[in-house]
Structure 1
Amino acid sequence: MDATDHLKASLEAAVALANATGAESNQGRAREALDQATVEAVLRLTTNQPLSIDEVAVGEFATGGEQIYRALVLLAEEETDAAASALNALLASTRAAPMLRRHPESAWHLHFASEGVSVATGWLAEFGTAAAMLLGSDELDRLRSCAAGRCDNIFLDATRNHRQRFCSTACQNRTKVAAFRSRGTQT
């Protein structure tokens, strides 16, 4: 695994959690309450392994995800000072402290939280660290807000030409259909 692959996966998971907790509209639909299955799906983006999260952790993820969403929206709007303050608050609340750890039968790897914090706090520290590293990188311009109506999602532009406008094909298609219908009613 490339060293930056883990960071990319953590950043993608941070964006997914942020959208699941902070976006009022998600691809044309009202946001649903965060549930255990959604949190587990977000965590699989980083580990590719099934993880089990309890209901208490879901509440912690919801609160932290909202914080991450606010910070990422500020970054997408190029409000870097305000985003840095929001991320610093999240990192302080999670007691983010990068440390190498090794679990039985695994290689050394980097954790982003202090010993003794909850599972959710540890993941939120990792996601906050990934978002903070994005702020300090040349890739910051890849963070965007979806251009579709009724979608408040943020996303990472994965295109070569940096021109992605929508978080998903569904949002792109909805926008194209709405424009087509609008042109049809004007004639």
Structure 2
Amino acid sequence: MLFAPDAEEALEFVVALVNTEADASRSGADELVTVDQLTDLLARYGYSGRIDRDQAELAAVREARGQLRRAWTLGRDDAVEAVNRMLREARALPYLTRHDGSDWHLHATEPDAPLAERIRVEAALALVDVIRTKETGRLRVCGADDCTGVFLDLSRNGSKRFCSVRCGNRMNMIAFRARRAES
């Protein structure tokens, strides 16, 4: 295990959220343009607390998505500034809690805080673990030429290069065809 379970869950949510962007999604379209799409995403990851289900909340989450993509791609030292800013702007006060069948884990905002703020803070807390364990190299952008999807490399040796099997297979096929054309 590289990270605490709640940190891993938060990082996996960031991956799912960021990969709703048009240039990272499977469909090639922005997959976070309606309140219903946001509701579906939140349901898949068990988000609790205040959820307004309105256009303002959707816009705020879309803005958080961009901030989290930028934080994901920063080096370790630069990520510290981004993480500290997210925590400071939310006036985060970490506390242990247990709810909805989850064991003790960290939160740093109240359940009635705006959703986008809670998303940023939970991601920031997870990134604290990543930075402290010197594992920022596990936060990756897909190695496929035509994909900007992000992923969390939890493999034992940290050698994953692609966000999905689909991207890996596509790049392997391109390399195979190039080798074949040379011979």
Q: After TM superposition, is the score higher than 0.5?
A: yes
1:25 aligned to 2:16?
A: no
1:55 aligned to 2:51?
A: no
- Distance (whole Å) between structure 2 residues aligned to residue 142 and residue 153 of structure 1: 14
Greater helix proportion? 1
With over 3 angstroms needed to count, the CA separation of the structure-2 counterparts of 1:45 and 1:95, relative to structure 1, is farther
Say if 1:64 and 1:90, in contact at 8 Å, map to a contact too. no
- Deviations, residues 86-130 of structure 1 (Å, cap 9, x unaligned): 222222222222134577999876422157631321222112221
Equivalent residue, structure 2, for 1:88: 84
- Deviations, residues 17-37 of structure 1 (Å, cap 9, x unaligned): 23334xx62267645162334
The 5 A counterparts of 1:34-183 are: 34-35=32-33, 36-44=35-43, 46-47=45-46, 53-74=53-74, 79-100=75-96, 110-114=106-110, 117-183=113-179
Letter aligned with residue 60 of structure 1 = A
Alpha carbon RMSD of aligned pairs, Å? 3.3
Q: Secondary structure at the match of 1:25?
A: coil
- Deviations, residues 153-178 of structure 1 (Å, cap 9, x unaligned): 22111222221111100110111122
Say if 1:10 and 1:45, in contact at 8 Å, map to a contact too. no
Greater strand proportion? 1
Structure 1: which 5+ residue stretches go unaligned? none
With over 3 angstroms needed to count, the CA separation of the structure-2 counterparts of 1:56 and 1:47, relative to structure 1, is same
Say if 2:76 and 2:136, in contact at 8 Å, map to a contact too. no
The number of aligned residues is 178
Normalised to the residue count of structure 2, the TM-score between the two structures is 0.78
Percent identity (aligned): 31
